[in-house]
Amino acid sequence: MKKVYIDPGHNYSGADTGAAGFGLKEQDVTVLVAQKLKPMLKKSGFDVKMSREAITDVVATGLSASLSGRAEAANSWDADIFISIHCNAANTKAYGCETYCVSTTGNAGRLARCVQDHLPAETGRYDRGVKTANFAVLTRTSMPAILVETAFIDNFDDNKFLASDAGREKLAAAIYKGVCDYYGIKYDTESEDELMSREYEELKAKNESQDKIIGEIGIDIESSKSDINGIKERLKRYDYVDENMPSWAVPTITKLVTKGYLKGDESGKLNLTEDQLRLYTVNDRAGLYGE
């Protein structure tokens, strides 16, 4: 399993804080990009360690200790490659992405080219190419090391890109693909859109099956309700010829009471069921009780 050490540049506070532009801080952007890059690499089977996992993390308070701390951590972990993530800043006019290495020959140079090959295409940022520099994190690390300047934080357009979650996702994807190319392995990516439409489909299917269950329960409830109402009707007793009695039964029951065929109990209650009302009414219509 290849070990990738990701170094989100700078610190939350202290001597080694980064550049800033339009209220956005480099030290925050670097972590946010790294947080997206890490799971991509892990999904492809890479072992990943980061110098800062959270925005509030501080590697060391002094500048020198902060820079050497990152390199030493990667060295002692015996990382296979080292990737430092930064944002550029200049005069507000400069824009684009570039990747640094100590030398363009050798593996660091090859890694830098692999990553830089994807950056402009993936992010739509201007291609400033692969460059060399003796940055401390590049010279003090004992494995192929690169430093990615994602975009210019003090440039309006680049800043907007860095400030967006979608932009940072694209930066992470570009670096991820570069690492995959460096190792000659296939990308295992799912674009944000693909991911969202898959999640949407899954959610939709779940909702539909829940709706179906709820619908079935609903039907059951309705039929139970009518069953209960039927039972209630059957249990209902009609004691008097009044507005509670079904109007179709009134003439017959009135006749039976008047003729003395039907008598109530001591308190005068007839205590008739609906079935009895029906039976008497049918018999009456058949002429059984006379005129």
Alpha carbons 86 and 150: distance in angstroms, whole number: 6
| Region near Zn ion per CB under 5 A, out of 3-11, 59-67, 157-165, 280-288 | 3-11
Q: Within 177-206, which residues bind Zn ion (CB under 5 A)? A: none
Q: How many residues bind Zn ion (CB under 5 A)?
A: 3
Q: Is 109 in the site for Zn ion (CB under 5 A)?
A: no
Q: Is 86 in the site for Zn ion (CB under 5 A)?
A: yes
The tokens for 213 are 């269950």
Q: Per-residue b/e over 226-258, b at no fewer than 16 CB within 10 Å?
A: eeeeeeeeeeeebeebeeebeeebeebbebbbe
Q: Is 9 in the site for Zn ion (CB under 5 A)?
A: yes
Q: Is 25 in the site for Zn ion (CB under 5 A)?
A: no
Q: Is 18 in the site for Zn ion (CB under 5 A)?
A: yes
Show the site string, 204-243: x = touches Zn ion by CB under 5 A, - = not. ----------------------------------------
Nearest to Zn ion of 13, 254 (CB atom): 13
Nearest to Zn ion of 63, 250 (CB atom): 63
Nearest to Zn ion of 148, 277 (CB atom): 148
State in angstroms the smallest separation of the CB of 167 from Zn ion: 17
CA quadruple 203, 209, 211, 212: dihedral, nearest 10: 160
| Region near Zn ion per CB under 5 A, out of 70-78, 81-89, 230-238, 278-286 | 81-89
| Region near Zn ion per CB under 5 A, out of 15-23, 42-50, 106-114, 154-162 | 15-23
Q: Is 21 in the site for Zn ion (CB under 5 A)?
A: no
Phi, psi of 233 (to 5 degrees): -60, -45
State in angstroms the smallest separation of the CB of 5 from Zn ion: 17
- Cβ–Cβ under 8 Å, residues 81 and 182: yes
Nearest to Zn ion of 8, 167 (CB atom): 8
Nearest to Zn ion of 128, 249 (CB atom): 128
Q: Which residue is nearest to Zn ion (CB)?
A: 86
Nearest to Zn ion of 86, 168 (CB atom): 86
End-to-end CA distance of the chain: 103
State in angstroms the smallest separation of the CB of 86 from Zn ion: 3
Nearest to Zn ion of 66, 252 (CB atom): 66
> Which residues make up the interface to Zn ion (CB under 5 A)?
9, 18, 86
